[in-house]
Structure 1
Amino acid sequence: MGTDIYGVIEARHPLADEDWYEWEPWSVSMPLYPLYDGSDLDTFGCLFGVRNRLGWPPVAAGRGLPADVSEAVRTDYENDARIDAAIHGCTWVSWAELRELDMTVRPAARGTLQVQRGGLIHQYRIDEQWPDEVVEQYGTPPLGASPVDAPALRWEAAGATLEYVPVTRHDVLGPGTGWEHVFEVMRALAQRFGPDGVRLVVWFD
């Protein structure tokens, strides 16, 4: 079952703390789409703890809507939740948090193994050993009897293409994932609004 993400980048006005300031402190700067239009579960788990199949220590899980969220974002979220009972996982993360991420952090799993045969693709979470059904059908991977410390590799066996990839935050958030565009926009906004004055608010279905 697929999972979709909905989100908005908000910015906080630099003068919002002034006594005379009478408008909303936070306002919409840009929707997440079209900066990011993917549905990578490993990213969702890594950042927000949603569909966290690899056991990431999530960056910003289960925070709900910010108390001072802009009315536009609150309305979008409440409308989505009203018409779709599957809406869940609402949370937010600031640019101050994202810019400090250690991109070498790994999940509890060692990596993922993808098996493609014909038009079918199956992906396995890899922990301390190769899946028995994979070994039985395709033999012991050329990486060795254990995935511990195994490097990335792609190989052919029994008419299938297998690919093992150790996973870090860089793999699911770095260049080529789509998230680099989100981070670049947030980084640019932070030059005016400050790193704590830019945040991403998201929810899922």
Structure 2
Amino acid sequence: MFHLASSLYTQYTKREQYNVLILGLDNAGKTTFLEHLKLLYASPDSSKKPKRSKDTASIIKSKRILPTVGQNTTTIKYESSSDSHLNYNNINLKFWDLGGQKSLRNMWSRYFTSCHGIIFIIDSTDTERFQECYETLVNLTHDENWGSANNDYDNMVNVPILMMANKQDLPQAIDLVTLKTGVFIQLVSELEATDSKLLPVSVLENQGLQESLEWLVTRLVYNKPNRAPEYK
């Protein structure tokens, strides 16, 4: 009887876990984004309350964050914000922050069959690399590994993809409308047929991070029939 009760308790208390890739060109803000999430959300095995306030911006600015070579991984216990109408409080998100240098991008596809969603971070101030960013996104969304996971998609990305236009706090940042109608217009048009969103954020200033994550979690849950979560 004890073993049955223990088994039922373990099954009941397991949390859904979704694996999310953080991708983008080098220097877009991927690792800084991951470090900020660690402040905003608790880890699954921690009882500490997350810092849901603007002080996280000053903490992040005081950190020395080095570019990722290889990967960083972090798991957070997701909780909907207090002013949200959603109630997704039994979810873990495991993030893989993968290096964005050109020489490392060919490794991204190794993770596609295991991931449930993608965050692609764009440096909205780096206009000289918009074309490179566009081409990287095209290659990502049409990678043959998506087809191997689900042939019905004909090699098109089959998980939610959240594009974050970062550094919107800077005066030289390109706004969202200009991004959508500029070099990214063809890609945005293509992705309208998939589960995707382009949102403005400032990773350093904690602007739009929780709202963006809320959109992604909603889509991860919606996509469960296609990509079932793990249970931890």
Which interval holds the TM-score relative to the shorter structure? under 0.3
If you compute each CA radius of gyration, which structure gives the higher value, 1 or 2? 1
TM-score (norm 1): 0.23
Write 1 or 2 for the structure with the bigger share of strand.
Answer: 1
Write 1 or 2 for the structure with the bigger share of helix.
Answer: 2
